[in-house]
Amino acid sequence: MDNLKLAELLFPHITKTTEYYEEKYPPRNLPEGARVTRIAPSPTGYLHIGALYGAVTDERTAHLTNGVFYLRIEDTDSKREVSGAADLFITMFEKYGMKFDEGAVSGGDKGDYGPYRQSERTEIYQTFAKQLIAEGKAYPCFCTDTEIEKIRNEQEAAGENPGYYGKWAVWRDAEIEKVEQALAEKKPFVVRLRSTGDPSKRVKLTDAIKGDLEFPQNNQDFVILKSDGTPPYHFAHAIDDHLMRTTHVVRGEEWLATLPWHVELFAALGFKRPVFCHTANIMKLDNGSKRKISKRKDPEADVAMFLREGYPQSALIEYVLTLLNSNFEDWRRANPTADKNEFPFSFKKMGVSGPLFDFEKLYDICKDVVSRMDAETVYENVVAWTAEYDPEFNAVLTKDPQYAKDILSIGRGGSKPRKDFGLWKEVREYMGFFYNELFAPEYCFPENLAKEDIIAVLEKYPSVFDENDDQQQWFEKLKTVASSIGFAADTKEYKKNPDAFKGHVGDIAMMLRVALTGKQVSPDTFAVIRILGKDEMTNRLKKCIDSIKG
Ligand code: GLU
């Protein structure tokens, strides 16, 4: 068979050579040890939490080594493509702070190794496929689906392994005349690799996460170009990761099954293999047993859900880091205020089996992360979140930014900042009462407090209040109010002799809290009064008295 002639026959429109592309995309000039990684989503739906998990691995690996992190859109399967998904991914990754040095970024491509959308790379794939054909390493196959099915049935009947290989690969050694005739009849064809593998031999390889791997060589003549001239994942992966000079291919463990194909492809193409890094799938507990997070069943599969529910983006990333590296939590405890990017992320600390997604833990991390933010940052985040998901609260908040920031400053700073909320959606419930337009109190006082006593306290309080009091003086005043109506000024005193009092100073504070905030749980009452100011405080106490009196 004249392979050169065959290559020309099949791809007359391909005029560039593989050398042309090798020169166009030369090895990168990077410092020793710099790693080049990519995230390569297929725009077939929403952004899966697993993709974010992979992206953090890629991003940390590249940026901790002064390497390059890029985004490639794997959109060769137009049947499965969901319109707008690619742009959605780009914006989502940006929202999560994934800084791409190159790739398919908003507004087009950035970088010298593009195009970064596979749909724009068909000519490149065909050039390499043509070269493989010219070298006798690939060939066209004109089998119809029915013929492929017939082969499968025969294999099944004969108890042989399924697939297109060896003697079953009917077009493997077809005469060129037969190919010419099929082309003349305009029969569609795929291009297959002419496998030289032998399954009785083993391939050995070290995966950066899974460790040493060993598997039988591939012997399938798998498809490298589909009948529409575009490549399936395997071929595109080999060409792109080679030409884009990826050093570390981080991807889900579902690709382990076809790793023998990829190993053979890299060898056939004469490419140096990247380091493979197969990540374990994120799992969840379902009725006591572990299973993969499912796109269909689990809302947490969709990263957009976390945005909608107001999980701070940086907290989700921080949680992903705890899933990725077993020592992250210890590091965080030892470095509570350090930037998470200072953490020495490593493949070695990644688990071989899938980590469990734990919402409670994520929520704790959200509270920690938010408690470490300053009021300004919290304000900006809440404004951004409410702009999209709660416009009513957004309008209220942004009317007087300083007022909102004063509220958000309560309990911040110091070595033990308060952890009042973890999700942006909780902020309205937390601080809405500060705004008259949102203040709709139900005044649920603890049952042990008598109405007359509450009214007495609320009536008396403005007369003792002094705006210049510090927190201690303020509390002293509460004590005097307590004593004046038969409550203990001191809780210890009350505990020693509960029958001698109606209650204690804590009850007085609770009466004020409920009257001013409408709730039994609220930020510090002293801080609340300071922010509301004397007039508003007095109004609210009156309003509460009126409501009790009915
Ligand atoms: N497009 C592939 C996927 O979405 C990418 C796998 C890879 O990272 O190589 O699964």
Give the domain CATH number at 193: 3.40.50.620
Looking at the predicted structure, is the pLDDT value of residue 314 above 90?
A: yes
Distance CA 133, CA 235 (A): 14
Contacts of 403 (CB under 8 A, 6+ apart): 434, 531
Residue 421 burial (10 A CB sphere; 0-12, 13-18, 19+): buried
Per-residue pLDDT for 295 more than 90?
A: no
Atom of ligand 1 lying closest to residue 51 CA = 4
Asked if 518 and 433 count as a contact pair (C-beta separation under 8 A), the reply is: yes
For residue 386 the two structure tokens come to 């409410």
Report pLDDT for 460.
Answer: 95
Which pLDDT does position 79 carry in this prediction? 83
- 493 found inside a domain: yes
At residue 274, φ and ψ (nearest 5 deg) are -75, 170
Which of the four pLDDT bands, split at 50, 70 and 90, describes residue 322? very high
Residue identifier of the C-alpha nearest atom 4 of ligand 1: 41
| Tokens standing for residue 540 | 């609210």
Residue 274 CB less than 6 A away from ligand 1: no
What's the average model confidence in pLDDT over 8-35?
97
Nearest-CA neighbor of 70 among 249, 275, 219, 236? 249
Tokens 């068909």 belong to: 122
Asked which of 255, 279, 303 is the last residue of a domain, the reply is 279
Cα 271 to averaged position of ligand 1 atoms, centre (Å): 19
- Quote the Cα angle for 472-488-548, to 5°: 90
Question: What mean pLDDT is predicted for residues 45-52?
Answer: 88
In a domain, 60, yes or no: no
Residue 95 is assigned to a structural domain of this protein: no
Interval 130-174: pLDDT, tens: 999 999 999 999 999 999 999 999 999 999 999 999 999 999 999
Q: For residue 41, how far is its CA from the centre of ligand 1 (angstroms)?
A: 5
Pair 154, 272 in one domain: yes
Whether ligand 1 lies within 6 angstroms of the CB of 503 is answered as no
Q: Is 377 a residue whose pLDDT tops 70?
A: yes
Report the C-alpha gap between 14 and 121 in whole angstroms: 13
**Residue 144 and residue 272 in one domain:** yes
Q: Is 263 in the pocket of ligand 1 (CB under 6 A)?
A: no
Rounded to 5 degrees, φ, ψ at 59 are -65, -45
Q: Are residues 386 and 529 in the same domain?
A: no
Select from 279, 307, 340 the last residue of a domain.
279
The terminus-to-terminus CA distance of the chain in angstroms comes to 100
Selection from 125, 149, 153, 140 nearest residue 223 by Cα: 140
Q: What is the CA radius of gyration of the chain?
A: 33
Q: Closest Cα to residue 161, out of 207, 218, 96? A: 218
Q: What residue has token string 């792109």?
A: 240
Chosen domain end from 261, 279, 297: 279
Please tell me whether residue 117 adopts helix, strand or coil conformation: strand
Instruction: Provide the percentage of residues in the chain whose pLDDT is more than 70.
Output: 100
Pairing, β 36-39 against β 68-71:
parallel
276 alpha carbon to ligand 1 midpoint, in Å? 13
Instruction: Establish whether residue 76 lines the binding site of ligand 1, counting it when its CB lies within 6 angstroms of any ligand atom.
Output: no
Q: Do residues 405 and 482 share a domain? A: no
1 falls in which pLDDT band (50, 70, 90)? Answer: low
Average pLDDT, the chain: 95
pLDDT digits (tens, 9 = 90+) for 209-222: 999 999 999 999 99
pLDDT per residue as tens digits for the range 50-104: 899 999 999 999 999 999 999 999 998 888 888 888 888 888 999 999 999 999 9
3-state secondary structure of 28: coil
Let me know: does 307 contact 423? Beta carbons within 8 Å: no
In sequence order, the 6+-apart residues with CB closer than 8 A to the CB of 294 are 301
Measured distance CA(466)–CA(477) in Å, rounded: 9
H runs (alpha helix) in 282-390: 303-308, 313-324, 328-334, 359-371, 375-389
Q: Which of 79-93, 117-131, 247-261, 419-433 has the lowest mean pLDDT?
A: 79-93
Q: How many domains does the chain have?
A: 3
Does residue 40 have its Cβ closer than 6 Å to ligand 1? yes
| CB distance 240 to 118 below 8 Å | yes
Per-residue pLDDT reduced to its tens digit, 21-33: 999 999 999 999 9
CA-closest residue to ligand 1 atom 9: 251
Instruction: Please indicate, yes or no, if residue 458 is contained in any of the structural domains.
Output: yes
**Residue 382 beta carbon below 6 angstroms from any ligand 1 atom:** no
Q: Whose CA is nearest to atom 7 of ligand 1?
A: 251
pTM score of the predicted model: 0.91
On the CB side of 497, CA atoms within 13 Å amount to 8
Q: Quick check: is 329 in a domain?
A: no
Strand order through the sheet with 190-193:
138-141, 190-193, 223-225
In the reported structure, the alpha carbon of residue 434 is separated from the centroid of ligand 1 by a whole-number distance in angstroms of: 48
Same domain, 131 and 273: yes
User: Are both 143 and 252 inside the same structural domain?
Assistant: yes
Domain that holds residue 201: 3-15+122-279
Helix (H), strand (E) at residue 462: helix 451-464
**C-beta of 72 in contact with ligand 1 (< 6 A):** no
Cα of 40 vs centre of ligand 1, distance in Å, is 5
The upper half-sphere exposure of residue 448, i.e. CA atoms within 13 Å in the direction of its Cβ, equals 10
We report the CATH number of the domain holding residue 536 as 1.10.10.350
Burial of 95 by CB count in 10 Å (0-12 exposed, 13-18 middle, 19+ buried)?
A: middle
Within-domain flag for 46: no
Confidence of residue 333 (pLDDT cuts 50, 70, 90): very high
Q: Is 76 exposed, middle or buried (0-12, 13-18, 19+ CB in 10 A)?
A: buried
Mean pLDDT of 232-243: 98
| Whole-angstrom distance, CA of residue 36 vs CA of residue 68 | 5
Q: Are residues 518 and 470 in the same domain?
A: yes
pLDDT of residue 300: 87
pLDDT at 279: 95
Judge whether 192 lies within some domain.
yes
Which residues lie closer than 8 Å to 10 by C-beta, 6 or more apart?
130, 133, 140, 179, 183, 189, 191
Distance between Cα 42 and ligand 1 center (Å): 7
